[in-house]
């Protein structure tokens, strides 16, 4: 699937293959025994776990150590404190997913200024520049994922229906891109559909935001959630209200994948290749440490996933056998 | 008598504001010294500006015999600027503070043949979304927009449509000039002190912006910098400008892709054949990547392209004698082979006097330079000395008499 979006500075995305290292480079990397620290927004999501697996396997293949994994629990303060500490400790490279956009830009800049190679996942905080402040942003084609979310939801919405967007009220490039793309596709291909956003500041607040929204919009015909964890919160909210709405979301997390296989609420998912993104993040870090010049934005197209192909997509992106609950619903 | 006093107060308010905003004065003492105003007047004006939300006190500065002075800072957070850039392939939008720092930026591909109304509608939608997502309780004080010099849209219609929809003054400028302002501005913040600077955008079009003694050179009609139409050779192919041998026709992005396609069809480059088979097209980025992988044909294409560009740039550099040349755009992003070829040609063809300390480097800002420049341009226009006096006592430029008149007129005429 071609890449639809542009990067944090309007870059065209480079494919994963542009990070391939020669065998000679790999041999040099193994002698250098690089130390790499990973800083994540959460360890709770399947996305994060898959990214870590991809990173760990790749770093290991280049003789590098994943010295630490920091879970920032979506907290700007925690991430800033962790990065400041790491600047003092001085690993060779840091792979980080910035949790707060411009709020954490300066802390990330300090990492680069300290000579630590910095690779960013998913977001390039506004104000940070490739080359000077970071090596590379590795992300999914978030714009493409939002488009997939719209394409897979539209067939389930009758003419002139109303669709809610469960929108993350945070300075986060990835979710911004998904929402903009979702809206753009809908405006272009289904201008009859009315869109209304319900914003949540954090995952814990989804129910509190969604319940009144559902009360105020009894005629809602569908829902799009910008990633799978709030999507599953929304599924629980709907179940508690004995309500059913077709939904689409992004990320083929375990729970969302099983729900998709069951085919009741979740109708489609734009799946990120989280494991492969982890591989790319690790390769970009190693390439930078070897003095190579990785592209400023490496992007992996998403995979449109429905109940029809969920088990195949699951195998492809998780590199694992799908869980039994999924195979029961959707045997290979 | 009363109005002389008010005029004098306004004059000193503007003077203090500008000293603080420019960073030339960081403490009360520095303001007193540089403005020649007495302590009581400076204290009073600072209090007024603080009440208006335009300045704030910061951390303590170093003490020089006596109490440590408190730093005085311009409150870049007092308002917001909507910024946007349009070129033939991309729309960029963002939200900037009054120091030109971007709060958010978004880019998307646009249909090359997009009619003005469609592009404007998309711009409005994105501006609305940005304000909805970044509800920061700050007024939009202005809009800065960069468009290609070759775009032949009705600028008055574009400007008034944006004013009507977003209720703020609008400044439209040549995109490459805004990118120049953005690149130059970011370098200045980083402490680079050069005042003569050339930015060159290398894409399908080749354009440039010049900063001379710290000021952007715009030209008589605001379209200075069309260096892509410098003739560098003879050719029967006619440029869209009507001439032959234009630089961008011979060495722009389209020319590179054309040559690469020929090489693939002739079977001269295995890598390009593979690219064509995989995706059905060859892009400038593909040529750069193939060269980095060791493809000799792509390396040669980029080297030749760089030589041609460097040769033309040598003439420009001989003429304007910049301290630094920054190269941006898709063709510049292909990598070191092109950069080396450009440098080599410049050093060969320009006189030693102008190249002695010359730096030729690649931009790191990508398309962000245009958005940053749009923000800086709008803020400079809002705070220009001849404009600032008319709104400073209201604390917001939206209460400038001309802005009020503009908004009323556009509303009367019905926008679009």
Confidence band, pLDDT 50/70/90 cuts, at residue B152: confident
- Residue B332, pLDDT above cutoff 90: yes
Count of structural domains, chain A: 2
Which run of H or of E encompasses B202?
strand B197-202
B58 lies in the same domain as B90: no
Selection from B253, B228, B256 nearest residue B312 by Cα: B228
- Residue that has been written with the tokens 């750069």 in this structure: B288
A211 lies in the same domain as A322: yes
**DSSP secondary structure letters along A279-307:** HHHHHHHHHHHTT----SEEEE--EEE-T
What average pLDDT does this structure show over A127-149? 93
* Domain that includes residue B35, residue range: 2-77
B166 lies in the same domain as B94: yes
How far apart (Å, rounded) are the C-alpha atoms in residues B271 and B264?
Answer: 8
Which run of H or of E encompasses B59?
strand B55-60
B43 lies in the same domain as B99: no
Q: Residue B35: inside a domain, yes or no?
A: yes
Selection from B138, B110, B142, B139 nearest residue B123 by Cα: B110
Q: Residue B95: inside a domain, yes or no?
A: yes
How far apart (Å, rounded) are the C-alpha atoms in residues A71 and A213?
Answer: 31
B190 lies in the same domain as B167: no
- Residue A53, pLDDT above cutoff 90: yes
| Sign for the pseudo-dihedral over CA of B18, B21, B22, B25 | positive
Conformation bin of residue B335: beta by default, left when phi > 0, alpha when psi is -120 to 50:
left
For an interface test with B, give the residue of A1, A9, A143 to mutate (most B CBs within 10 A): A9
Q: Residue B240: inside a domain, yes or no?
A: yes
Count of structural domains, chain B: 3
Q: Which residues pair with B201 in a beta bridge?
A: B207, B328
Our measurement of the distance from residue A102's CA atom to the centroid of its chain's CA atoms, rounded to an integer in Å, reads: 18
- Residue B112, pLDDT above cutoff 70: no
Q: Which of B77, B108, B140 is the endpoint of a domain?
A: B77
ipTM of the prediction: 0.91
Q: Which residues pair with B102 in a beta bridge?
A: B96
- Residue that has been written with the tokens 């979310």 in this structure: A149
CA distance B293 to chain A (A): 9
Which pLDDT belongs to residue B114? 65
Assess contact for B196 and B322: CB atoms under 8 A.
yes
B136 lies in the same domain as B201: no
Collect all residues of chain B within an 8 Å Cβ-Cβ radius of residue A137: none
Q: pLDDT tens-digit profile of B217-241?
A: 999 988 899 999 999 877 778 888 8
Residues 155-194 of A with CB under 8 A from B: 167, 169, 171, 176-177, 179-180, 183-184, 187
Q: Residue A227: inside a domain, yes or no?
A: yes
Q: pLDDT tens-digit profile of A252-299?
A: 999 999 999 998 899 999 999 999 999 999 999 999 999 988 999 999
A102 lies in the same domain as A213: no
B220 lies in the same domain as B294: yes
CATH number of the domain residue B17 falls in: 1.10.10.10
Q: Residue A205: inside a domain, yes or no?
A: yes
Answer yes or no: do A184 and B107 touch at CB < 8 A: no
Answer yes or no: do B129 and A9 touch at CB < 8 A: no
Confidence band, pLDDT 50/70/90 cuts, at residue B151: confident
Q: Residue A1: inside a domain, yes or no?
A: no
Which pLDDT belongs to residue A1? 64
For an interface test with A, give the residue of B86, B94, B105, B190 to mutate (most A CBs within 10 A): B105
Q: Which of B77, B99, B125 is the endpoint of a domain?
A: B77
Confidence band, pLDDT 50/70/90 cuts, at residue A71: very high
How far apart (Å, rounded) are the C-alpha atoms in residues A187 and A179?
Answer: 12
CATH number of the domain residue A74 falls in: 3.40.50.2300
Q: Residue A258: inside a domain, yes or no?
A: yes
Q: Which of B62, B77, B92 is the endpoint of a domain?
A: B77
CA distance A126 to chain B (A): 6
* Domain that includes residue A95, residue range: 16-139+273-300
Which pLDDT belongs to residue B416? 46
Q: Residue B375: inside a domain, yes or no?
A: no
A278 lies in the same domain as A220: no
Q: Residue A9: inside a domain, yes or no?
A: no
């Amino acid at each position: 699937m071609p890449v639809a979006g542009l990067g944090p500075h309007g870059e065209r995305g480079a494919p994963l293959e542009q990070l391939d290292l020669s065998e000679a480079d790999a041999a040099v990397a193994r002698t250098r025994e690089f130390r790499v620290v990973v800083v994540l927004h959460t360890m709770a999501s399947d996305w994060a776990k898959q990214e870590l697996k991809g990173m760990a396997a790749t770093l290991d293949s280049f003789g590098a150590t994943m010295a630490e994994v920091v879970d920032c629990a979506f907290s700007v303060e925690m991430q800033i404190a962790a990065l400041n500490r790491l600047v003092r400790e001085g690993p060779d490279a840091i792979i980080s997913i910035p949790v707060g956009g411009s709020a954490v830009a300066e802390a990330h800049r300090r990492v680069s200024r300290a000579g630590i190679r910095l690779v960013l996942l998913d977001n390039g905080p506004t104000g940070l520049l490739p080359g000077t402040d970071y090596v590379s942003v590795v992300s999914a084609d978030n714009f493409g994922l939002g488009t997939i979310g719209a394409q897979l939801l539209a067939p389930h919405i009758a003419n002139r229906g109303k669709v809610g967007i469960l929108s993350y009220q945070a300075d986060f490039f990835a979710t911004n891109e998904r929402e903009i793309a979702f809206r753009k596709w809908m405006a272009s291909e289904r201008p009859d559909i009315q869109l209304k956003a319900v914003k949540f500041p954090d995952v814990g607040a989804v129910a509190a935001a969604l319940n009144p929204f559902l009360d105020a919009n009894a005629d809602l015909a569908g829902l799009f959630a910008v990633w799978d964890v709030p999507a599953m919160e929304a599924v629980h909210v709907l179940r508690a209200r004995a309500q059913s709405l077709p939904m689409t979301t992004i990320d083929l997390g375990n729970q969302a994948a099983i729900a998709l296989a069951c085919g009741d609420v979740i109708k489609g998912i734009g799946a990120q290749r989280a494991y492969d993104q982890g591989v790319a993040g690790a390769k970009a870090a190693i390439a930078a440490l070897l003095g190579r010049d990785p592209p400023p934005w490496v992007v992996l197209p998403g995979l449109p996933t429905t109940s029809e192909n969920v088990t195949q997509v699951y195998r492809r992106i998780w590199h694992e056998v799908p869980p039994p609950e999924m195979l029961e619903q959707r045997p290979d | 008598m009363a109005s002389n006093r008010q005029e004098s107060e306004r004059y000193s308010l503007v003077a203090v504001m500008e000293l603080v905003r420019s960073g030339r004065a960081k403490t009360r003492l520095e303001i007193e010294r540089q403005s020649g105003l007495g302590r009581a007047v400076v204290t009073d004006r600072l209090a007024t500006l603080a009440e208006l939300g335009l300045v704030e006190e910061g951390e303590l500065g170093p003490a020089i015999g006596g109490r440590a002075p408190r730093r005085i800072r311009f409150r870049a957070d007092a308002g917001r600027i909507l910024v946007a850039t349009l070129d033939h392939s991309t729309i960029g939008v963002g939200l900037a503070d009054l120091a030109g720092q971007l709060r958010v930026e978004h880019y998307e591909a646009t249909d090359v043949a997009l009619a003005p109304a469609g592009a404007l509608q998309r711009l409005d939608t994105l501006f609305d979304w940005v304000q909805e997502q970044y509800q920061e309780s700050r007024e939009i004080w202005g809009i800065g927009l960069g468009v290609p010099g070759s775009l032949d849209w009705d600028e008055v219609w574009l400007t008034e449509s944006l004013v009507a929809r977003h209720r703020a003054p609008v400044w439209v400028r040549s995109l490459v000039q805004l990118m120049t302002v953005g690149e130059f501005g970011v370098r200045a913040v980083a402490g680079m002190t050069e005042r003569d600077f050339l930015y060159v955008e290398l894409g399908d079009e080749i354009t440039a912006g010049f900063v001379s003694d710290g000021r952007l050179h715009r030209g008589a009609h605001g379209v200075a910098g069309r260096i892509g139409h410098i003739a560098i050779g003879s050719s029967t192919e006619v440029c869209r400008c009507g001439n032959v041998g234009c630089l961008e026709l011979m060495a722009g992005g389209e020319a590179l892709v054309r040559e690469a396609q020929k090489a693939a069809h002739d079977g001269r480059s295995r890598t390009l054949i593979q690219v064509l088979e995989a995706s059905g097209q060859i892009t400038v980025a593909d040529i750069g990547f193939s060269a980095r992988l060791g493809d000799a044909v792509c390396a040669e294409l980029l080297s030749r392209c760089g030589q041609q560009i460097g040769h033309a740039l040598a003439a420009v550099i001989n003429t304007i004698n910049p301290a630094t040349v920054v190269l941006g755009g898709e063709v510049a992003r292909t990598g070191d082979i092109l950069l080396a070829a450009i440098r080599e040609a410049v050093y060969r063809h320009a006189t030693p006097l102008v190249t002695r300390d010359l730096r030729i480097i690649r931009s790191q800002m990508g398309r962000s330079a245009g958005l940053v420049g749009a923000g800086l341009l709008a803020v400079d226009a809002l705070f220009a000395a001849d404009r600032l006096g008319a709104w400073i006592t209201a604390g917001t430029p939206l209460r400038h008499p001309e802005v009020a008149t503009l908004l009323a007129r556009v509303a009367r005429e019905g926008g679009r």
